[in-house]
Amino acid sequence: MQILDGKALSKKIEEQVTADSKKLKQETGRVPGLAVILVGNDPASQAYVGMKKKACDRAHFYSVTHEMPEDISQDAIEKTIEMMNDNPNIDGILIQLPLPSQIDTTRLLELVAPNKDVDGFHPYNVGRLTTGLDGFVPCTPLGVMRLLEEYDIDVQGKNAVVVGASNIVGKPMASLLLNANATVEVTHIYTDDLKKHTLNADIVLVGAGVIDLITKDMVKKGAVIIDIGINRASNGKLVGDVDFENVAPKSSYITPVPGGVGPMTIAMLLSNTLKAAQSHA
């Protein structure tokens, strides 16, 4: 069993992004710019935005956070997005999810200029991903693919089961795996007998937000386990969706939580923002 160390790989990617960012500035005078919209006081969202800001600082990016109250109007956020779409110093726009119930999230995601959509949530980029064309890919599944690549885990011809069908993780994860010639099954809350599906998988990728959803009797010996979940246990500890202690001995490779997929998400955000800046230079 080998641990897939996302923390070490994310550091390596960040160093490369920083070097490429400096080169871009020397050659064009352009500094990659990321703008974040943060609505309300959700502690998890604030923590994520804080981590993204620190990563931007380390990579010498320009970054700005638009903090807005919980009761903000749809119109006010739309005006801010339009302003950032028109701002030549901003290469990437990120809307921190989830948003309050009075906000039409879909409309906001569609309003972000596709060439600044570094989260890969705009239908234009979703369509390009699905059809195997270049575009912006959601950072978490992109980070998973980069982690698999780093450890020479070839997904071609493998049976991959994605647990969770969200637009942010599950669906784009399935598209990336399909594009890499894996045989893909997507399971979700309505799937009957999850174990039946995961037991046949060479690679299990789980992002359902349920502590210990995947137990050792649900995976075959030698499977690759990618835990995308992040949950806070009753004792305050951060844990994933996989019963790590008992599943790890059966696996060939496994991601820890924390320190696996999480750091890769932020590394890919930096990478996507640099890509946007290079295309705007």
Residue 93 sits at φ, ψ, to 5 deg, of: -120, 130
* pLDDT, tens digit (0-9, with 9 covering 90-100), for 250-259: 999 999 999 9
Average pLDDT score over the chain: 96
What is the average pLDDT across 175-198?
98
| CATH architecture for residues 32-113 | 3-Layer(aba) Sandwich (3.40)
- H or E element that contains 152: none
Going by C-alpha positions, the residue among 181, 232, 170, 237 that lies closest to residue 204 is 170
With tokens 């979703």, the residue in question is: 126
Whether 32-113 and 139-262 share one fold: the answer is yes
pTM: 0.96
Domain 139-262 annotated CATH 3.40.50.720: yes
pLDDT at 43: 85
Q: What is the pLDDT of residues 197-240, one digit of tens each?
A: 999 999 999 999 999 999 999 999 999 999 999 998 999 899 99
Instruction: Give residue-wise pLDDT tens across range 52-84.
Output: 999 999 999 999 999 999 999 999 999 999 999
Domain ranges of the chain: 32-113, 139-262
| Beta-bridge partner residues of 95 | 37
Which residues are annotated as catalytic? 52, 96, 119
The pLDDT value recorded for residue 42 is 86
